[in-house]
Amino acid sequence: MEEKSKKDHRVLLNQGEENELEVFGYQTQNLRRAFCLTVSVLTCGVLLLVFYWRPQWSVWASCISCPLEEADTILLRTTDEFQRYMRKKVICLYLSALKFPISKNPEEPLVADCHSVINQAVLKPELKLRCIQVQKIRYVWDNVEKRFQKVGLLADSYSCYDIHHMFGLGLTNEEQEVRRLVCGPNAIEVEIQPIWKLLIKQVLNPFYVFQAFTLTLWLSQGYIPYSVAIIILSVLSIVLSVYDLRQQSVKLHNLVEGHNKVQVKIIVKDKGVQELESRLLVPGDVLILPGKFSLPCDAVLIDGSCVVNESMLTGESIPVTKTPLPHVEDTMPWKSRSAEDHRKHILFCGTEVIQVKPPGQGPVRAVVLQTGYNTAKGDLVRSILYPRPLNFKLYSDAFKFIVFLAGLGLVGFFYALGVYVYHGVSPGDTAAMALLLLTVTVPPVLPAALTTGIMYAQKRLMKKKIFCISPQRINMCGQINLVCFDKTGTLTEDGLDLWGTVPTADNCFQEVHSFTSGKALAWSPLCAAMASCHSLILLDGTIQGDPLDLKMFEGTAWIMEDCNVDYYDIRTSDANIIIKPGPKASWSPVEAITVLRQFPFSSSLQRMSVVAQLSGEGHFHVYMKGAPEMLAKFCRSETVPKNFPQELRNYTVQGFRVIALAHKALSVGKLSEVESLSREKVESELTFLGLLIMENRLKKETRPVLKELSEACIRTVMVTGDNLQTAITVAKNSEMIPPGSQVILVEASEPEEYAPASVTWQLVENQDNGPGINETYINMGSSSVPAGEKGSCCHFAMSGKSYQVLFQHFNSLLPKILVNGTIFARMSPGQKSSLVEEFQKLNYYVGMCGDGANDCGALKMAHAGISLSEQEASVASPFTSKTANIECVPQLIKEGRAALVSSFGVFKYLTMYGIIQFIGTALLYWQLQLFGNYQYIMQDIAITLMVCLTMSSTHAYPKLAPYRPAGQLLSPPLLLSVLLNTCFTCIVQICAFLYVKQQPWYCEVYRYSECFLDNLSNFSTNMSFGRNWTRNATLVPGSILSFEGTSLWPITTINCITVAFIFSKGKPFRKPIYTNYIFLLLLISALGITVFIFFSDFQDIYQGMELIPTITSWRVSILVATLIQFCVAFFVEDAILQNRELWLLIKKTFGFCSKSQYRKWQKKLAEDSTWPPTNRTDYSGDGKNGSYVNQGYESPEQIPKGKLKWGGQTTEQHFWTRL
C-alpha cells in the first residue's frame, strides 16, 4: 500500500528524453502556510528569500505529499546530476466556460478521436481538467494512464489512413473550441521581461544580498568611500546585465513575433473554408496553403506538394520539395511507415513556403500536427530560453572556495566576539566589530571582477568577428581538447566544380567525359538523369536549389521553363516546369522532359529519385542519384561494372565527390498509377548508368589550422555526411591524419537470423601507383600494424551505419574506438549529436565547428559549438563566426585559455587580498584597534579595485601551448599557491606585529599618550612635523593610531601589490605582463605612492592616513621584509608551483593518474599488445541469437540523451547563483 502511495506521488515527465523530469505531488496545508508567513514576517522577509533560492524548501514547509491526481502543487526535479527543482501550481480548466453545451455523459467522447488524451483528461460531469505549464509546454493529467501528458500535438500513433480520414475534412467548430481551451494558443510568445522584474532577479542573487549586508555594515561604521565605489560598480554591473538580458529578450521576441500574427485559411467540417488568425489554430485543423506563405505551425502535407525554404532549421537557404502523405490503408504509424524519410511530408513552423503545386483542381492542404512551443521553431526557442546544463569545474569549485572563505570569516567572527567580550566592550560595538571581520574575507568586488574578464575576452572575440550568445562558455573554451569538424563547407569549399562523368555500357565503365574539354555532354540516359533528377525549382525566372544539383544541371546545358499548356499535354501536381535542351546542349532526340513525381533527397537515405516522362513517349522513366555505395544496392547486379569498387576508390582517394546515377523504365502506363507508387517499388531493379565526378577543394586555411591544433595536442575529428573514402582522403590531404599514420576501417554489421552482430577491422594502406599518384586502398591480406606504430598513430574510420551498430551491440567497445576515432562518415544529424555526447562521456571537452547544415544538434550539444552560418538555425549555437573558415577555432581556444587563466588569477588575487586584510585586521583586533578608513581606501580602491578591472585585459598569447591551463580551482598548484602565500604573509605580519613591540621607542599609544608625545620628535627628521603633530593630535582609547597599525599597513598594502604581480602570469596562455600597460602602470603607481606615504614626513599625509612617524631604520626594515617576502613568493610561484615539468615528475614518481576516462582508456590500450586489431572480425556476446542488444538504444535518429548520464553537471551561469 505504501509502495503504491509512493508511486502515485511520483511519476516521470518526458521519460527517456533530454528534458526528463521527476514530478512529485503535494497538497497545500493552510496551517503550515500561515506558520511560514508568520516566520517570514518575523524574519523581515529572510525566509521568503531562502524559499526564493530553494523552491523545494517552500513546498516541503507549506505542503504535504499526496497522490498526483489530488495535488494542487507540483514539485519538479531534473534527473541529471545537478537535480534542479521547480515549483508549479496545478491549473484547473473548465469546459463549462465554453459557449456551447457539452455532453456530461462519460461514454460520449469530447473530440472525434476517441484515443485523444483530451477525452482521457476531462473529468465528467464536472467538465474539469487539471494541467501544469513547464518550460512553455502544457501537460494535462491523464485520468486513465495516471500521468501528465503533453498537449498541443497529434500523437505519433496515427496511421496515414487515420490522418486522411479522421482529419482530412477538418474539425467541427465545437471540437476546435475544446482543443483551443485545452491546448492553448498557437503562439511562440517570448515575453519582453519588464526592467523591474529583471532588476529584482539580479538584486536577489545570493551574492548581491551578501554584498548589500556587507556594504550596509561598512556604511554604518563610517567606511563610506569604498562602500560607495562598490555600490557604483555593482549598480553598473547590474544595469549592464539587465540591459544585456533585456536586449536578448527583445531580439528573441522580435524573432518569433511575426509568426504569431499570420492570417490563415482552414477547412471547417460541414462549413467550408474560414479565415482566422494563426493563434487560433489547433492540432487537427486542415490548413490551406495559398502560395508564398510563412508557416505558423508544424503540419503534415495531405494534398498537393510544395517547395519550402528550411534555412531556419538547417542553416542552408536551399529549397526543399515536400510531398503529400500517401493514401494507404494500414494501421502502421505514419512516421514508422515513412521511416527516416517522414520529414519529406512535414512542413515546419517558421519555414517559408515559396511555391505550391496543387493536386489538379483542389488546393494544397496540410493537417496541423503541432502548435506553439511543441513545434520545431518552438523547440529551437526553448533551447535558447532554457539552455542545457554543462559540466565545468571552475564554477562549482569557485562556489566551494567562497564557502571556505565564508567559513574563515565565521572563525574571525567568533574570534572578534571573544576578544571584545573579554575586554568588556559594549554588546553593540562588539557585534558590529565581529560582523566587520566576518565580511572581510569575501571580497564584494568578486562578481564584477570575474564578469570584467569575460567581457574583455568577448570584446576581443568580436574584433575577430566571432560573436557569442553565451559568454560563460568562453572560459570553457580554454579546456577544449577535441574539436569535431564538418567537412563540406567547413574544411572544404562550399561550392563544387564539375570534373567529369564516367558512363557505363555493357557492364563496363567507358571513357571519361571531361567538362573542362568544352564539349557538350552527349545525349544518353545519363544526361537525362542529370537533367531531371534534382530538386531545383524555377522561381521568378531564376533556377534555385542545392548547389550540387545546380552544378550537375548546368553541366547538361539544358534549361528550365514554365510549363505551357498549349505546348505540353501532361498536367500533374508536380509538372509546373519542363526541362528542355538549351542552345549549347548537344543534339537530343527528346524535345522536353517532364518530372511527374519526386522522392526527395534525405541525408539519412543518401539518395533521391524522380519519375519523369520524355516528350513523345507513352511510358514513364525512373531516374535516381545518390551515394555510389547506396545506389549500387538498388541496381541489378549485372548492370554494375565488376570493377565498380576499384573505380570508385580511384576517384575518392583523390578527394573527388562522387555521385552515382541509375535508371529504369516503369511498367505502369497511367498517371494515376504513378501517383500511388511507393518509393520502395520505384527504387528497385534499376540499371546503373555511371558516375558523376565533382571536385571539392580544401579551403586554404584548413591545413595550417589543423597543424596548429595538432601541435597544441588538441585532437581533431571529422564528422561528415559524405563518402567514407572521400573523408579519409580529405583527412590525409589536410593532414588531420599525419603522413605515415595507419588508418583502420571499422565496419560493423547488424545481427542476422543465425549470426550475431559483427565488427570487422580492415587496414587501409598507401600504395604508390607511379609518379605523383598515391592511391589508398583497403588491404584484405594479412598485414598488421607494425609494433612500433600502435596506439596513437592509428586512426579509426567508420560510417554512420557502423557507429549505429557499435552503439547498439558493442557499447563496451565504443570508448576504445572513440579514443582513436578520427573519421566518421555518412553520419546523420542525430548520430552527430550522439557522437559528441559519447566524447563528452569520456571527459573530453568537445568543440564542434560546422556550417549549420545538419550540425545544429551537435553544435548545441558540444561544450563550444561554433557555427560558420549566420542563418537563423545557428541562433542556438553559442558562437558564430562571420569568417566562413576554421581559423576561428584556434582563436576561440586562445581567448578561452587567456580568459580562464585570468579568472584563476583574479580569483587567487581576491582570495589572498581577503586573507591579507583578515590577518592584519585580526592582529589589530587583539588590542581593540583597526586600520584607518583611508588606509583601507588605499588598499581597496587604489589597488584592488583597479587591479580587478585591468588584470584580465592582458591579451591571449599568439601561439597555442601544447597543454591546457588547469581547469579546477581545487588543484594542488592553486591550493598550494594560496596556502603558501597565506603562510608568508602570516609570518611577516605576525613578526612585524611582535617585533615592533620590542623596539626601545615603542609604547602603547592610546595608553601612554603623554610619553608618546614627549618623544615624538625623535621619530621624525622633520622637527616642525613633530611639534605640529603634538599640537593637533587627539589620542583616545580605541583610536586608529598605533605603532602596530603603522607597521602592518605598508606590509599589507605592498603585499596586495606583489601578489597581483605574481598572479598575473603571462606566457604560455597570455602575453607578458608588460604588454598590459594600464595594469603595470597602476601597480608601479600604487607601489610608488605607498612607499612615498610611508617614508614621507609630511604632517598632512600622516594625519590623513592616520599613521605614526617612526625612525627611518624601522621603515627600511619593513620595506626589506616586504621585498624578501616578494622574492620568496615569486620564486615559489614561478619556479615551483608553475613548473609543469616538476609536477609531471611528481605525478610520475608517486603514480598519480588522470581521472579522465579517455586517459584511462589510452593507458589501458597502450598496455594491450593485441590493440588495435587488424584484418579480423569480432562478434557480439551473449543474448538472443548470440548478440547483445543495449536497451538504451532506440533509433538511429534519436539516441537517448538521458539514459547514460555524465557527472558533475552544473548550470551554465555565474557560480554565485548556486549560493
- The x, y and z cell numbers of residue 492, run together, are 572544404
Cα distances (angstroms) measured from residue 32 to each of 64, 67, 72, 89, 468: 9, 19, 15, 17, 46
Please tell me the distance from the alpha carbon of residue 285 to that of residue 171, in angstroms, as a whole number: 6
13: cell is 515527465
Main-chain dihedrals φ then ψ at residue 960, nearest 5 degrees: -75, 130
CB-based burial, 923-953: b 16+ in 10 Å, e otherwise: bbbebbbbbbbbbbbbbbbbbbbbbbbbbbb
C-alpha cell, 133:
505549464
| Cα–Cα distance, 672 to 991 (Å, whole number) | 101
CA torsion 212→213→217→219, rounded to 10°? Answer: 10
Task: Say which residue the cell 531516374 belongs to.
Answer: 623
Do β-strands 286-289 and 364-370 pair in parallel, antiparallel, or remain unpaired?
A: antiparallel
Instruction: Give the integer Cα–Cα distance in Å for 368 and 375.
Output: 10
Q: How far apart are CA 392 and CA 903, in angstroms?
A: 13
> How much is the CA Rg of the chain, to the nearest whole Å?
37
* Catalytic residue IDs: 486
144 conformational bin, left if phi > 0, alpha if psi -120 to 50, beta if neither? alpha
Angstrom CA distances, 81 to 11, 23, 1183, 1206, stand at: 18, 16, 31, 8
1102/125 Cα distance (integer angstroms): 87
List Cβ neighbours of 1123 (8 Å cut-off, separation of 6 or more): none
Distance of CA 1098 to the CA centre of its chain: 59
Task: Tell me the one-letter amino acid at 868.
Answer: L
Measured CA to CA, the distance from residue 110 to residue 1063 in angstroms comes to 70
d(CA 567, CA 584): 22
Q: Which three cell numbers stand for residue 1010?
A: 603623554
Distance CA 1161, CA 813 (A): 11
Question: In sequence order, what DSSP letters do the residues of 18-56 get, joined into one string?
Answer: TT-EEEEEEEE-HHHHHHHHHHHHHTTTHHHHHHHH-HH
798: alpha, beta or left? (left if phi > 0; alpha if psi -120 to 50):
beta
* Cα–Cα distance measured from residue 992 to residue 33, given in angstroms and rounded to the nearest whole number: 57
Contact 851, 868 (CB under 8 A): yes
Asked whether 856 and 828 are in contact (CB, 8 A), the reply is no
Beta-carbon contacts of 185 under 8 Å, excluding residues fewer than 6 positions away, are: 279, 280, 371, 372
* H-run or E-run covering 848: strand 846-850
Contact status, residue 306 vs residue 291, Cβ threshold 8 Å: no
In degrees to the nearest 10, what's the CA dihedral of 553, 559, 562, 566? -130
What sign has the CA pseudo-torsion 284, 289, 290, 296? positive
On whether the CB atoms of residues 821 and 768 are closer than 8 A, the answer is: no
Alpha-carbon gap, residue 827 to 484, rounded angstroms: 13
